[in-house]
A = this chain, B = another copy of it.
Amino acid sequence: MVNGKQIFQGRLLNLFLKRQKFPNGYIGTLEIIKHPGAVLIVPFLSDDKIILIKQYRPVINAYIWELPAGTLNKGEDPLKCARRELIEEIGYDAGILEKIGYIYSAPGYTTEKIIIYKAKKLIKVKAKKEVDEVITPKVFTRKAIQKLINSGKIVDAKTICAIKLVIK
* A79: Cβ under 8 A from any B Cβ: no
Determine the residue in chain B with the shortest Cβ distance to A29.
B11
A160 to B136, CA, bound (A): 26
CB-defined contacts of A156 to chain B, threshold 8 Å: 103-104, 107
Nearest CB in chain B: distance from A162 CB, A: 9
A110 to B33, CA, bound (A): 11
10 intermolecular pairs with C-beta atoms under 8 Å apart: A11-B29, A20-B58, A22-B132, A57-B104, A59-B109, A59-B111, A104-B155, A104-B156, A157-B158, A160-B160
A113 to B64, CA, bound (A): 13
Query: 6 tightest CB-CB pairs across the interface, nearest first?
Result: A164-B164, A10-B31, A105-B106, A57-B107, A160-B161, A157-B157
